[in-house]
């Protein structure tokens, strides 16, 4: 059995400003250890920057893929047959669906620094999840790939 080729792949990376903040955290850690000497200061600088960079990298490692008849978003793998038609959300609608319109049962891959999103109803009657909310920089492209698959 041959799987179909991947049709959509997006990594929700953290913004550049977060990497600058990670560097500043390293500098702050180094400055806190400066009274102890040059070697502890250097260790604090490197260790603080490394830990902050790992945190930024892990938060920005979420992926959204449409592959082999499934939507893979974060840790979830959802068959496309269990999903309805994707709704493209502009910045205002996306903000509403991640705040006052949000349903606590919904599955969300949410990144607040990405203004646009896609909302996809779950049509499987066995699944209590009402919809899938995905932050994406290319909502039209993702919706079109979901419709094609």
Contact 23, 31 (CB under 8 A): no
DSSP lists the bridge partners of residue 12 as none
- Looking at the fold, whether 54 and 113 belong to one and the same domain comes out as no
**For 30, how many CA atoms within 13 A lie in the half-sphere containing its CB?**
16
Domain boundary among 30, 59, 88: 59
When computed from its CA atoms, the radius of gyration of the chain, rounded to whole angstroms, is: 20
Phi, psi dihedrals of residue 71, rounded to the nearest 5° = -100, 120
Question: In angstroms, rounded to a whole number, what is the distance separating the alpha carbons of residues 77 and 36?
Answer: 50
Q: What is the mean pLDDT of residues 11-21?
A: 93
28-59 pLDDT, tens digit each: 999 999 999 999 999 999 999 999 999 999 88
The reply to whether the predicted model has a pTM over 0.85 is no
- Looking at the fold, whether 139 and 79 belong to one and the same domain comes out as yes
Residue 143: predicted pLDDT: 93
The domain total for the chain is: 2
């Amino acid at each position: 059995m041959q799987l179909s080729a991947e049709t959509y792949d997006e990594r929700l990376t953290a913004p550049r400003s977060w990497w600058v903040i990670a560097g500043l955290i390293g500098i702050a850690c180094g400055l806190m250890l400066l009274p102890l000497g040059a070697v502890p200061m250097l260790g604090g600088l490197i260790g603080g920057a490394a830990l902050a960079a790992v945190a930024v990298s892990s938060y920005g490692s979420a992926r959204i893929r449409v592959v082999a008849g499934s939507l893979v978003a974060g840790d979830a793998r959802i068959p496309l047959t269990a999903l309805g038609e994707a709704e493209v959300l502009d910045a205002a609608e996306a903000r509403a669906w991640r705040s006052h319109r949000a349903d606590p049962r919904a599955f969300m891959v949410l990144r607040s620094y990405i203004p646009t999103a896609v909302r996809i109803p779950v049509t499987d009657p066995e699944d209590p999840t009402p919809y899938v909310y995905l932050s994406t920089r290319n909502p039209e492209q993702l919706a079109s790939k979901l419709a094609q698959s």
